[in-house]
Amino acid sequence: MTRYARITGTGSYLPPRRLTNNDLAAELAQRGIETSDEWIVERTGIHARHFAAPDVGSSDLALEASRNALEAAGITAQDLDLIIVATTTPDQTFPATAAIVQRKLGAPVGVAFDVQAVCSGFVYAMSVADGFVARGMARCALVIGAEEMTKLMDWSDRTTCVLFGDGAGAFVLEPREGQGTKADQGVLGFALRCDGSKGDMLYVDGGPAMSPENVVNSVGTHSGEDALAGFVEDWGDAVKGSRGDYGRTLGFQVGANSGDYVYAKVGSMNLGAMGLEDLDISTAAGATKALRRIDQALDYANGQRTKIGAQMSRFDSIVAHLQTSTEHLSASRGRIVDADYAQETAALSRTLILQKVGTAMVAQANQRPQSVLALLG
C-alpha cells in the first residue's frame, strides 16, 4: 500500500475592489504613467486585478479562502493539524501568518508555519504538506497562498505595476491509500528548481536584516511618572479594523527582578476577529454560511471567555502570593527596625544607676576636703 496526499477541497477569495485595465490606466495617468488596456493585454493577457483595502491583511484573505476550502472538503477547522501559508506579504514579521490564520479559524493547536518563495511559494508549500501527510505526520493539512502584492508595487514602473493583484487560494490535503499504480489518486510528485543567480531581475527591498531603519518595533515598554510602577503595555503590530483581532497584551511586573512579568492576552472581539464581516443572508446558501460563521464566532467568544477566566484565576493566585510575601517582609522589617522594649528598658535602668553612682562618688570626693579644713581650724 502506498500513501498519498489527496486534494479534497479547494477555495479562493478575492477582495471586492476590482480594477480593470482601463481603471488602472486612469489611476496611473494621474501619476504621470502612460498605459492602456491594449498595451497590458498584448503583453500579459491580464484584463483586471483585485485590490485589498488598506486595513485588510493577507491573513484576512487567507481566512476566507480557507473557509471555502474547508466547506468544499466537508470538514471543519477542528479537523486540521497542519496549516502552511505561502506568502511574501505577511501581516507581521512574526508570528507566522499561518499562526494568525489558525487562531482566526479556531483550529486546534497543531503545526503552523509560513513558506516564502514568491510566485512558486504555493507549490513549495504543497510539496511540504504532501511530505507531512504522505508520511503520516499530519492527518489533515490546509495549504494557503495569500498575497497583497499591490502594497509592494512601485507605481512608477509601468512594466511591473500592471502585473500583480491581491487574493488568496487554499487546498485541503488528506491521506489516501493507493496500490502504486496509475489508478492511484493524489499528489504523485514534484519537480522544484530555483536559479538564485537571477535574483536581481525582480526583487523588493526592505528586509528587516538589511533595512533595520524601516522596521517598526511593535513590542515595547511604556511607562509614565503617574503610571503604576512596573506596568508594561505591549501592543501587537499596528493591525486595525479587520486586522485588529490579533489582540492586546498587557504585562504586569510581579516581582523585584526586571524579568518578573506576567502577561495577559485578550483577543479582539471585533467583526473581523469573529469572522462576521460581509455576511450575506439574501440567499439560502448565504444564510447557511452566515449561521455557520455565527456558530464559529460564538465558539471564539467562549474560548476568549475561558482564557480570560484562566488569566483571572492566575492573577488571583499571584495577588494572594504577593500579599503573603508582603506580610513576611513587613514582619522581617519589624524585627530589624523595631526596638526591643525589654532590652531598651534594661539599658535605661543601667544608665540611671550609673548616673546615681557617679553623683554619689562626686559628693563624697567633695566632702573629704571639707573634713580636712575642719581639723585645721
State residue 237's pLDDT score: 34
| Environment class of 114 (CB within 10 Å of its CB; exposed 0-12, middle 13-18, buried 19+) | buried
Please give the Cα distance from 147 to 275 (Å, whole number). Answer: 19
Report the top-level CATH class of 2-198: alpha beta
Distance CA 110, CA 192 (A): 27
Helix (H, G, I), strand (E, B) or coil at 49: strand
| pTM passes above 0.75 | no
- Do residues 83 and 144 make contact, with C-beta atoms less than 8 angstroms apart? yes
Q: Which residue has the cell 467583526?
A: 271
The domain spans of the chain are 2-198, 221-325, 339-377
DSSP string, 270-327: SHHHHT-TT---SSHHHHHHHHHHHHHHHHHHHHHHHHHHHHHHHHHHHHHHHHHHHH
Closest CA to 315 of 273, 266, 269, 270: 266
Pairing mode, if any, of strands 231-235 and 141-148? unpaired
Residue type, 376: L
E strands, the chain, in order: 2-13, 17-20, 48-51, 82-86, 111-115, 141-148, 166-178, 231-235, 248-253, 261-266
What span, in angstroms and rounded, lies between the C-alpha atoms of 188 and 130? 9
- Asked if 80 contacts 108 with a C-beta cutoff of 8 angstroms, the reply is yes
Residue 330: CB atoms within 10 Å: 10
Each residue's pLDDT, cut to its tens digit, for the chain (377 residues) gives 678 899 999 999 999 999 999 999 998 888 888 899 999 999 889 999 999 988 899 999 999 999 999 999 999 999 999 999 999 999 988 899 999 999 999 999 999 999 999 889 999 999 999 999 988 999 999 999 999 999 888 888 888 888 899 999 999 999 988 776 777 778 888 888 888 888 877 777 777 777 655 544 444 433 333 333 333 333 333 333 333 334 556 677 777 665 666 767 666 677 766 677 777 888 888 888 888 888 888 887 887 788 788 878 878 888 888 888 888 888 887 777 666 677 778 888 888 888 888 888 777 777 766 665 666 65
